[in-house]
Chain A
């Protein structure tokens, strides 16, 4: 799986970071950062990444289809 981030929507609520700290973090401007930079998320982290995507309260994260 790969992740798309809609930066205009991200407000830095940080729920993704709580759900999947190996995949998502917030930078100094409280903008979400994908540890894999839009590249393939390792299979072992995919479930956590999907839970994090579902937890984003402002729909800034999507799984690329």
Chain B
């Protein structure tokens, strides 16, 4: 059998597939461990065990040739932590990660909790809200730009830029083409921030500049590092919170379980990220001739790891399409895995948990007042609007 014999002809990034990718993922899992995607000229790895194996072996499956699906952006992304290997990656990662681990974030927990309280109080007072704009976006936007130290003058573009930075990592299609100017706009602004040293004092951005001053990294690496901090911190968390709202509105008995026992919230966040993984997929390049799940993969092949499929693999999960906040979902791959595993997952968990905890204290139930609208982005699986009624908890007297 030739290596490209197990193949799938559909475009995983058509409008219809972006809106509902799951039937495609189920078909890919059924076909085999490594399926040649004729439309994208890469192998799809859609099963959990194989996805985990590829992410674990970061020597055979390298990130330095880019993790997107188009050569233009893969080249432009060089110099980011996402897009590097070995010692170079480890050095950038250390700089990034030490401010983002749960231990480092402990001092921020109270602040995030009170921001979440304020966001939720305002939304409950309104009653009928857009869950994306009024809850899911409101919290990260009140936390992340200050943490990174992004100057006030560049903030009005942040959501558009950050979304575009992901979108541009898709295949060369109309969406990635439309997104590329905005992604470049973010890079340009970031260069200006580094040149003018306009990061807020005490922020992560200022850490990066100080490290360059000490000669620990090249000044030319700073703009890409700023984007490393900022771009992935918004849409991903926004997607997780939006999906939590949609899922918990659709499954009120799960919401009631959380109300009865809020200590389930951390696990519920894992379960939401499992069932509605914010990142669809990133790719690697095989550095040598190798195998995935026993299937040969030639050297130089691009391999697309489908996190959002692995997390619904019926080989790994019982009742994979069911929301169950009590299941152990901690091994889900929604934050990736291994040396390139999401450096900001501690912050993402903290924000999502804080928002849900604040909602559980004030809201008896979540009711969808219309159909949630899927966001059309090549990389991020999320919602562009979630029309929602927050029914306040009458037992609460101090609201």
Contact = CB atoms under 8 A, between A and B. Distances in A.
Interface of A: 8-9, 11-15, 18-19, 26, 30, 51, 54-55, 57-59
B103 A57 contact: no
Contacts, number: 46
Given A54-B330, A55-B330, A55-B331, A12 B341 contact: no
Contacts of A14: 102-103
B330 A15 contact: yes
B86 interface: no
Given A51-B328, A55-B330, A26 B103 contact: yes
A52 to B, nearest CB: 9
19 contacts: A11-B97, A12-B103, A14-B102, A15-B330, A18-B330, A26-B103, A30-B103, A51-B328, A51-B330, A55-B330, A57-B335, A57-B341, A58-B337, A58-B339, A59-B55, A59-B56, A59-B338, A59-B339, A59-B341
Interface of B: 55-56, 90, 97, 101-104, 266, 328, 330-331, 335-339, 341-343, 345-346
B346 A13 contact: yes
Interface hub of B56, B102, B339, B345 (most chain A Cβ within 10 A): B102
Contacts of B341: 57-59
**DSSP class of B's interface residues: helix, strand, loop or mixed?**
helix
B101 A13 contact: yes
B337 A57 contact: yes
Contacts of A19: 330
Interface hub of A13, A15, A19 (most chain B Cβ within 10 A): A13
Given A55-B331, A57-B342, A59-B56, A30 B337 contact: no
Given A12-B102, A14-B103, 20 more contacts: A11-B97, A11-B101, A13-B345, A13-B346, A18-B266, A26-B103, A30-B104, A54-B330, A54-B331, A57-B335, A57-B337, A57-B341, A58-B337, A58-B338, A59-B55, A59-B56, A59-B337, A59-B338, A59-B339, A59-B341
A58 B58 CA distance: 11
Contacts of B55: 59
Contacts of B342: 57
Interface hub of B101, B104, B343 (most chain A Cβ within 10 A): B101
